[in-house]
Amino acid sequence: MKETLEAINQMQADGIIGKYAIGGAVGATFYLEPASTLDVDIFVTLPTVPGGLLLSLSPIYEYLKTKGGRLEDEHIVIGGWPLQFLPANNDLEREALAEAVPANVEDVETWVMTAEHLAAIALRTGRPKDHNRILQFIEQRAMDPKKLQLIVARHNLNSKWEQFERKFLEGKHG
């Protein structure tokens, strides 16, 4: 992972990407027991091109290929880790990126989304594996429920949260 994170940090230093944070299953492992995952989700802000309306990940892939990365489907593999770069496309993801917290992995400084933002993004996405991740956050007391509720309310996810509670939490306490 060290080589992977060093490459991402260098990409940021070289202006290829702006702020970044690790999200998804790998981001959750900073707070929960590790889970099986196929890739590392890297949420990013991309430098804007004056007059440009379309975002392109091509500069990321081209840059990383010059650093020894290789393309595999929608991923680029660096240091043995398949990476998926995801532009922060909505207010929730942009907030998660802005409020990401520093972390140290193998003596490399990096950024990871907060547990509460990871849970809110999982709630919005709503796949079974996302619901399981939210349950893990709750069961392992790995997040602040009050902070999560503020994020849920701020991003209009109240109805999704109510559905989640009815389906998974009714009758359970803790």
Domain with residue 68: its CATH number is 3.30.460
Phi first, then psi, for residue 25 (nearest 5°) are: -65, -40
Residues 58 and 131 in one domain: no
Domain residue limits at 135: 117-169
Higher per-residue pLDDT: 66 or 52: 66
Q: Which tokens sit at 99?
A: 């409020």
Whether the CA torsion 14, 65, 57, 20 is positive or negative: it is: negative
Residues 121 and 98 in one domain: no
Using pLDDT thresholds of 50, 70 and 90, give the confidence band for residue 58.
Answer: confident
Residues 75 and 105 in one domain: yes
Residues 26 and 43 in one domain: yes
Q: Is residue 21 part of a domain?
A: yes
Q: Are 75 and 41 in contact (CB under 8 A)?
A: no
Residues 24 and 74 in one domain: yes
Range name among 3-17, 47-61, 158-172 with the lowest pLDDT average: 47-61
Q: What is the pTM (predicted TM-score) of this model?
A: 0.91
Residues 137 and 90 in one domain: no
Residues 32 and 102 in one domain: yes
Residues 11 and 80 in one domain: yes
Residues 45 and 96 in one domain: yes
- Give pLDDT, residue 52: 61
Coil, strand, or helix at residue 158?
A: helix
pLDDT tens digits for range 98-116: 999 999 999 999 999 999 9
Q: Is residue 157 part of a domain?
A: yes
Number of domains in the chain: 2
Report the distance separating Cα 60 and Cα 63, nearest Å: 5
Q: Is residue 174 part of a domain?
A: no
Residues 157 and 93 in one domain: no
- Give pLDDT, residue 35: 73
Residues 94 and 165 in one domain: no
